[in-house]
Structure 1
């Protein structure tokens, strides 16, 4: 029911009506021309008016049906950005960006990390829920990153700056865990729009210096349990705005997909048509003048 409502919400009535009117226009043109040369043929054509209407309606629904994916190539690069609705982990041959916390806590059994969260799903899918192996990979990745000792009643007692990235290679995929939230004493993640905008340029630079030239899959960071003070569409715009000058400053991936969960789409949180128009404009006209200012050393918060 929710999916049907979402489709109705995003159905383009303008495109539907336009296609039906175009079908009638074609019918009128054929009838007018045929009546000049052969009144009998014109009469025969008129008897099939329903076929023209059916074709117009079918074409109209095809044009008006909401798309689940929009893409654009970043001007001046070979990189394509896509916004698509699907289960992110159904993508193949990509590296996954995972929103994490400043202590890189991973425990699933005590509820520190929800199993339904993106990080929880990644831990189960790529590590079989064995977070001790994930922890070992994280420790190795962060060995040279400055940290700060903290005290909290559970989990890890070392925190890293917002934007720190742990690059781990699981059996099936490369994961980039980026710190965008802090966990409080009740295991509740708390983030903000500023945390995300500060973390994004550090994420791209970390991938540039430590990753491979993978295609990237990026969720709508902070839109789940991090309680971020921004809408999903605003977060997607921030991801695209930061990515374009970063990829123009130097190639670090083949393509980047911002992945919207089907639940968010059917709930009406995201309008792909509007976001697609924004993305095409940014890819074509977005300035690269500030690209250098967006790049900062890994683990160094933006000021």
Structure 2
């Protein structure tokens, strides 16, 4: 909690001081007439009263600047509401989005890191049965444009960026979309322009198969995607893509972006909300 308080103060120092001053002035304005009307004698207790005023004002200031863990706002001129919160993507209610490479690799290890969302999805949700992912790719992307590329490990069939498949599990639909290129050594990489192209493909699939349900997605482009933008800009880029897609045609009623806890000191949700509402 102390770390979060320090983060809040560092982000909004002026607001913190103004909140303390406003709290002190408000307390004085409200309580002094009450003391006078009730004929309460404060003489001799000036120091304790002053300390109480300052402590209460400090608490008010801390409440005002304490970082938000969740915000929500409506995308202007669309039927889509955006929620951004910190938490576990796999614990959310609704459909979920996971990024993959253009090869849709399924082997845990060299091609798919066990620490990536795709790796966690294969092991936790699919129970390690990577063939479920392979079958979905083969059936749903049959006939799509492909290239055959030899690499040190993993699959050799390369799909276009933005290609998206769905896998149903436990009353949820998981949207897996190709976001990154991978080199011969299976190292992933992408760019802002590729990210926007990939998101266009994702939104098209969400529009046709999401059935209007809540869609939960992580911070697209973070981590192993190596897009090269800080987390706050990645979030803004996702929102820009979402706004464009929602204006073209209705998407889901609620798009929820779920951030990992290590993003808490890197993204100020209040600033994001103020920029978009």
Match of 2:127 in 1: 128
TM-score, length-normalised on structure 2? 0.88
> Structure 1 125/254 Cα, relative in aligned 2: closer, same or farther at 3 Å?
farther
SS of residue matched to 1:180 = strand
Match of 1:301 in 2: none
SS of residue matched to 1:75 = coil
Is 2:80–2:254's contact at 8 Å kept on the other side of the alignment?
yes
State the shift of 1:143 in Å: 2.2
Runs of 5+ in structure 2 lacking a partner?
none
Q: Does 1:205 align with 2:218?
A: no
> Structure 1 125/74 Cα, relative in aligned 2: closer, same or farther at 3 Å?
same
State the shift of 1:18 in Å: 2.5
Match of 1:13 in 2: 13
Runs of 5+ in structure 1 lacking a partner?
281-303
SS of residue matched to 1:71 = strand
Match of 1:271 among 268, 271, 275: 268
State the shift of 1:205 in Å: 1.3
CA distance in 1, matches of 2:125, 2:171: 7
1:1-303 matches, within 5 Å, as 4-5=2-3, 7-11=5-9, 12-30=12-30, 33=33, 40-41=39-40, 43=42, 48-92=49-93, 94-108=94-108, 110-265=109-264, 268-280=265-277
State the shift of 1:41 in Å: 2.7
Residue by residue over 1:139-161, the C-alpha shift from the partner in whole angstroms, topping out at 9 and shown as x without a partner, is 22212422222222322221111
> Structure 1 82/32 Cα, relative in aligned 2: closer, same or farther at 3 Å?
same
CA distance in 2, matches of 1:196, 1:13: 35
TM-score, length-normalised on structure 1? 0.81
**RMSD of aligned C-alpha atoms?**
2.4
Residue by residue over 1:104-162, the C-alpha shift from the partner in whole angstroms, topping out at 9 and shown as x without a partner, is 11110x33101110111111221012111221122222124222222223222211111
